[in-house]
């Protein structure tokens, strides 16, 4: 059975248990069956791996209850989010285990282009259903991509526009993908993949300045929050270089009217390396790391909500 056939089969079951227990976090409800069926076939196909085809006849409305477990790979996360958007919901507003029967058996790896198409569709959809609710956007690489949705500040909508492996140049090129959104805040974290690939400090800083300016132009009512580059435990990226870049990023953010959220000091140990108890592999974060980030993000979100 193909991944999409599995998707259609599971969602067609119409199970209601999970939907009932999730009543405290109502779905955005931004896509209707008519919306989905009126979407051009080529647009739907563009976000599907090449060996699957969309089925327009299935329109799911409810979810399957499983033990709380979340996707652990990019492929699984992609299919969970695809299932969510296919059902007319935003994955950040659903339990972490939503659509487990789909993503736990998914094998079709999405391309970078398909990730971009999916994120653009999410941005378009959430914009249609935002209403008068606050919206915040996360932009970045795998660190932002894997930020647990249940740790995001509540009381608003969240749109995650991060892609694994992204550099500052990649992010700059795809900012138009979510230009339709109307967020109150946009949180940007980027730079570590540039450092891993040998990109110069000047290029990183130039790209980040352009990202800030582009966002301020396309989202003039939004508060742009530049988050510091996190330290690593990899020898290829010296901690003092990251510290210097963050110092420059703070200056650039101030000059261009953005807010700088300093995470580096809390994440670095005495040697300027990522704290060993907060990482899975010396680069990515574990639950402890995300808990620390969550606290800082909540502080910034409160400040913005209060008109800061």
Number of domains the chain is built from: 2
Domain membership of residue 115 (yes or no) is no
18 falls within a domain: yes
Q: Is residue 45 part of a domain?
A: yes
Distance CA 159, CA 161 (A): 6
Which pLDDT does position 62 carry in this prediction?
Answer: 34
| β-pair partners for 139 | 188
- 255 domain-assigned: yes
Angle between helices 3-11 and 74-86 (to 10 degrees): 50
pLDDT average, residue stretch 121-133: 92
Q: Which pair of structure tokens corresponds to residue 169?
A: 């140049």
Q: Which residues contact 79 (CB under 8 A, 6 or more apart)?
A: 3, 7, 71, 99, 102, 103, 106, 108
Q: What's the pLDDT at 40?
A: 52
pLDDT, mean of residues 26-35: 45
Distance of CA 197 to the CA centre of its chain: 22
16 and 83 part of one domain = yes
Asked if residue 86 and residue 13 are part of one domain, the reply reads: yes
| Shared domain check, 257 and 138 | yes
CATH number (domain holding residue 147): 3.40.50.1110
Residue 114, domain member (yes or no): no
In this structure, are 141 and 77 located in the same domain? no
pLDDT exceeding 70 applies to what percent of the chain? 78
User: What is the model's pTM?
Assistant: 0.82
| 180-230 pLDDT per residue, tens | 999 999 999 999 999 999 999 999 999 999 999 999 999 999 999 999 999
| pLDDT, averaged across the chain | 84
Question: What local confidence, expressed as pLDDT, does residue 238 receive?
Answer: 85
Residue 112: inside a domain, yes or no? Answer: no
Asked if 155 and 300 sit in the same domain, the reply is yes
Host domain of residue 136: 132-305
Task: State yes or no: pLDDT of 101 exceeds 70.
Answer: yes
In a domain, 281, yes or no: yes
Domain shared by 163 and 287, yes or no = yes
What average pLDDT does the segment 91-100 reach?
93
Q: Which one of 86, 103, 120 terminates a domain?
A: 103
- Check whether residue 57 and residue 204 sit in a common domain: no
Query: Which residues are CB-contacts of 270 (< 8 A; sequence separation ≥ 6)?
Result: none
Residue whose tokens read 């935002």 = 130
Residue predicted with more confidence, 99 or 24: 99
The C-alpha atoms of residue 206 and residue 201 are separated, in whole angstroms, by 9
For residue 148, give the nearest of 249, 251, 68 by alpha carbon.
68
pLDDT at residue 237, rounded to an integer = 86
Higher-pLDDT residue of 87 and 9 is 87
Query: Is the domain of 75 the same as that of 141?
Result: no
Query: Within this chain, do residues 294 and 249 fall inside the same structural domain, yes or no?
Result: yes
- Stretch 74-100: mean pLDDT, rounded? 94
What pLDDT, in 10s, does the model give residues 232-242? 999 888 889 99
- pLDDT tens profile 176-188: 999 999 999 999 9
| 161, 294: one domain | yes
Average pLDDT of the segment spanning 93-106: 92
Instruction: Report if residue 122 sits inside a domain.
Output: no
For residue 186, give every residue at least 6 positions away whose Cβ sits within 8 Å of its Cβ, in sequence order, or none: 136, 137, 139, 215, 219, 222, 223, 224, 225
| 278, 197: one domain | yes
Nearest to 193 by CA among 276, 284, 278: 284
The confidence score (pLDDT) of residue 29 equals 41
Crossing angle of helices 239-255 and 201-218, in 10° steps, is 30
Q: What is the mean pLDDT of residues 57-63?
A: 32
What is the pLDDT at residue 169?
98
Domain C-terminal end among 60, 83, 103: 103
12-16, 124-128, 176-180, 219-223, range with the lowest pLDDT:
12-16
Instruction: Answer with the residue of higher pLDDT: 18 or 268.
Output: 268
Q: Based on the domain organization, do 138 and 97 belong to the same domain?
A: no
Residue with tokens 């119409």: 14
In the predicted structure, residue 81 carries a pLDDT above the cut 70? yes
Residue 12: predicted pLDDT: 52
Residue 85's pLDDT is 93
């Amino acid at each position: 059975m193909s991944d999409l056939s599995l998707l259609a089969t599971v969602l067609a079951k119409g199970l209601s248990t999970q939907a009932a227990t999730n009543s405290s976090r109502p779905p955005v409800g931004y896509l209707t069956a008519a919306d989905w069926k009126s979407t051009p076939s080529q647009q739907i196909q563009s976000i599907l791996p090449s060996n699957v085809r969309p089925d327009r006849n299935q329109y799911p409305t409810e979810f399957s209850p499983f033990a709380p477990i979340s996707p652990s790979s990019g492929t699984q996360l992609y299919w969970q989010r695809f299932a969510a958007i296919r059902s007319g919901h935003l994955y950040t507003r659903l339990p972490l285990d939503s659509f487990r029967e789909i993503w736990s058996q998914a094998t079709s790896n999405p391309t970078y282009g398909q990730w971009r198409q999916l994120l653009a569709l999410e941005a378009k959809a959430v914009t249609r259903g935002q209403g008068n609710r606050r919206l915040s956007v996360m932009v970045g690489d795998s660190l932002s991509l894997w930020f647990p949705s249940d740790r995001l500040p509540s009381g608003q909508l969240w749109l995650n526009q991060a892609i694994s492996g992204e550099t500052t140049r990649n992010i700059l090129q795809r900012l138009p993908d979510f230009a339709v959104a109307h967020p109150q805040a946009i949180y940007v974290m980027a730079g570590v993949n540039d450092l891993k690939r040998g990109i110069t400090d000047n290029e990183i800083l130039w790209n980040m300045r352009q990202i800030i300016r582009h966002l301020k132009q396309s989202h003039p009512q939004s508060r742009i929050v530049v988050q510091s580059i996190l330290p690593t435990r990899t020898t290829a990226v010296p901690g003092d270089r990251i510290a210097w870049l963050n110092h420059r990023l703070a200056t650039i953010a101030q000059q261009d009217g953005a807010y700088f959220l300093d995470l580096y000091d809390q994440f670095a140990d005495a040697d300027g390396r990522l704290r060993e108890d907060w990482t899975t592999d010396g680069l990515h974060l574990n639950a402890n790391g995300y808990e620390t980030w969550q606290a800082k993000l909540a502080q910034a979100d409160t400040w913005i909500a209060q008109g800061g």
